[in-house]
Structures are given as C-alpha cells and as structure tokens.
Amino acid sequence: MKVDINKTSGKSSGKKITLSDKIFGIEPNDHAIYLDIISYLKNQRQGNSKVKGRSEIVGSTRKIKKQKGTGTARAGSIKSPLFKGGGQIFGPQPREYNNKINKKVKDLARKSALSHKIKDKSLTVIENFTIKAPKTKDFFKILTNLSVENKKSLFFLAENDKNLILSSNNISNTMVKNISDINTYDILNADNVIFVEESISKLNEILN
C-alpha cells in the first residue's frame, strides 16, 4: 500500500512511500498481541520486593514466658510472626518475572499492532528531519503542525538523534524511540504513531 509522506509543517510533500502489506496489511491477531503485551509488562517488573522472616529478625531467642499456667498460648520467641516486630509469614521474596515468547509470535504481534494503526488512520510517515539544537519549543511546533500536540504520540527514528530525544523529554505524552526498539505495547499505547521516512526501510529489515 502507498501512503503520503508529510512534511514537518503538516502539509503533504507530494511524495508517497510503499508500506509492505506483509507488515501493515495483515489481518490483526489479537491473541498474539495479548501474549506479547503480557510478556512485555512482566519483563518490566524488577521482582526485588523483600521482607524478613522470623529467622532473619534480630532479637532475643529467650523463652519470653513460662510454658504453662499463663492461660494463654505458649510462646517461645519474640521473633514469632504473632508478635509486633516479629518476622512476616509468607512475605514477598526476590524473584524473576521474566517471560519469553516465540520470536514469530512477537513479530506477528508487532505487525498486528501496526495493521490496527493503519486501519484506524493513526499512522503517519514524515520526511527525514533534524533539529540543530535541543529545543523543546522547536519540537512542540512540529507536534502542533501534525495536530498531535494533545495526543499520545510515538516517533520512530532510523537512528538515535540526541537533539530530538532531548527536545521531546519535557513534553508529556510524547515518546521518541529508535526503530530497533519497536514493541507492541508502545504502538498500541500511543494515539498516533509517526515514522520518519528512513525508519521504514529499517522496519522492513526487522520484521521481514
């Protein structure tokens, strides 16, 4: 399929680019999307929550009261989970949340997400551009020209551009990423996905 290439001014450049039907024109597989997003979110978790059990609490090990005759349950240690300051029962321990999925499923999920964006008309291709110095004002002007200043927008670059990334840091709901970091979650979480022209050829290499 062919789509227009826009200028950063928001107007059409008069040029078109061919998007691969194998990436942007497939029938979306929502289950593959589900599996990929679940995997992505699990992999973001650090899994470093930790509390102390009774064997790790610092405290006296003396028997705190006599065994019988108190009218209450027997107690052998102040470190028991039943007492204030004691260890916690079945508390969280460090663990790995890593979750892997098949590469073909991951690729299918990303293609499905991009196909959804094409169908929703929320995917745009713009001409290659640079910003001479990191200025939020200059980048925000581009967002305004593209009518995405009040929406969640995701820019994909062919290569890391320090000035562009720094210019976008102070703008809420806007993310600038290298095309090599493309993932299903970011695509679907954005209202508008914007590809810089050069990034399309690299996307073809990644997903084909």
Predicted confidence at residue 113, as pLDDT, reads 96
3-state secondary structure of 68: coil
User: Measuring CA to CA, how many Å separate 26 from each of 107, 155, 191?
Assistant: 12, 22, 20
Domain boundaries of the chain, sorted by first residue? 2-46+99-207, 51-91
Right CATH for 2-46+99-207 from 3.30.499.10, 3.20.20.30, 3.40.1370.10, 3.40.50.880: 3.40.1370.10
User: Measuring CA to CA, how many Å separate 142 from each of 145, 190, 193, 200?
Assistant: 5, 17, 14, 20
| Per-residue model confidence as pLDDT tens for the chain (208 residues) | 889 999 999 898 889 999 999 999 999 999 999 999 999 999 999 999 999 999 899 988 889 889 999 999 988 889 999 998 899 999 999 999 999 999 999 999 999 999 999 999 999 999 998 888 999 999 999 999 999 989 999 999 998 889 999 999 999 899 999 999 999 999 999 999 999 999 999 999 999 8
